[in-house]
Structure 1
């Protein structure tokens, strides 16, 4: 016994046209976009570093320091979002993008934790000792700068 086959294919006139795939930007353009965002991120690290260090200064922490940490958190968050929105298709650039996003996430975490230590609701000697050890963003800021510098050197080599 033969069972009829149902055709689920739509007639050609009823099919939706396929959208063209946007062309992949060339590697130098991707690299330039990545370096541009990282340049801004590295520039934003100086005020963020100063805000974290201000949270660790002896004595009461001012409200101005809290505002500075808030402003720097917003700036770094926006840069991290811009970084993650880049459409990088080269695998090595995508890896650099992921590494930079992780480093910026660390900077954001440092700002938040510095505020938590500086403006704790229940101060105790351990919290105060940890707060007084704050002196900036640390090694991760240097790592981001080195990553940017390496990519910038790669851009110069590709353009030359």
Structure 2
């Protein structure tokens, strides 16, 4: 029996733990892990570092690159987990163009918890409450038909375990 391969998007606003949870999910699935932030063009990183939110035109080349990664892994029938904010449904639809069977984990948390986590960061380009407020305003939370939603109040390892268990139950 051939093991199932998965293409997984771990999504949510900055500070929700996408990268950490994504690494745990990737490890459990024996998958590659890609931090979507590493694929932002330099201009996007500079803009966010100044505290200026990205607009849709800024995000287009970034989303296209990530959709291309999902497509590459799908064609190779290999598993990959990509951490990416994917705040709007049209962004997730763009990512799904790389793999229509994309599995999505939405990390949901209160504004207060997210602000606390962001304040503790020292070396990340995402800056300040204004940026978080912008992301929360833009967020089009996926419904149960689109994603598995788990609370960031849980430990990152527990979130990954629950998500992977659901994936395997569905396979």
Q: TM-score, normalised to structure 1's length?
A: 0.29
* TM-score, structure 2 as length reference: 0.28
Larger Rg: 1
Q: More strand by proportion, 1 or 2? A: 2
